[in-house]
Amino acid sequence: MVTDSIIALIPARSGSKRIPNKNIKTLAEHPLIAYTITSAINSNIFKSVIVSTDSDLIATISSYYGADVPFLRPTKYAADTSPDFEWLDYTMKKLDNDNIYYEDVCILRPTNPFRDEFTIRRAWDEYNKIKDSVDSIRAVELCSQHPYKMWVHDGKLINPIISEDIKPNNSKQPYHSMQYASLPEVYVQNASLEIVSKQSVYETKTISGYDVAPFFTENYEGIDVNTEIDWLMTETILSKKLAELPKIEKPPFLLKKIR
């Protein structure tokens, strides 16, 4: 059920380097961003589904698939090193100046094609149960590369990020020498979604606030397509029919030069 209290924001800058034109690269006939737009619209919870981009082409494609692009993002908020807070703060203030009412924001990154309408609804339901006691809810999954096995190089030696003095109970071995199954559970954020209150963004000047609750993604809901290997993995998932993309009713937007 659509509510006036929440909007979806899809960040899609044009300057991707690891996969050129990543956000509009064609995946199974449609530009990658189309699957996020479709999932957001089909969830039927958002007052508006808005794409934040610095690109006229991405804006045109996003509008074709049903998203709103009320203005372009300044290029200074679309650099490789631009913090997410900058584009989010800019977008929210522009919407506020236009007297657009909303209380919460759902950030949906276009690099996740397998997060569907049902994932979004599940997250929205979970957020509503606890929103009075948290700033936000963020998608996480168990990490595959465990921080207890990570090292930094001091120019000569490598040293564990987590002190070797920290050892499991009754063990003489440091964590970096333990099997993964015996390590503490550690979660990593993924590209599925974040839901945060507008008030928390403004008060903390962050995209998630201070009190962040987990939204545990399942199976391929947390996929983040950022490298060529990620892209090949996504195509393999599709070819093996391990997961399905959101169904798009529109004919594909023609992108003959972007593959």
Among 22-31, 32-41, 158-167, which stretch is predicted with the lowest mean pLDDT? 158-167
Question: Has residue 194 got a pLDDT over 90?
Answer: yes
The more confidently predicted of residues 111 and 175 is 111
Residue 4: what residue type? D
Residue 108: what residue type? L
Strands (E) located in the chain: 6-11, 26-27, 30-31, 49-52, 104-107, 136-142, 151-153, 158-160, 187-197, 212-216
Give the mean model confidence (pLDDT) for residues 76-80: 89
Question: Has residue 59 got a pLDDT over 70?
Answer: yes
Domain ranges of the chain: 6-139+190-239, 147-182
Question: 42-56, 71-85, 149-163, 165-179 — which one is most confidently predicted on average?
Answer: 42-56
The domain 6-139+190-239 is placed in CATH, from the list 3.40.50.2000, 3.40.50.2020, 3.30.70.1060, 3.90.550.10, at: 3.90.550.10
pLDDT in tens, 133-186: 999 999 999 999 999 999 999 999 999 988 766 566 666 778 888 888 888 899
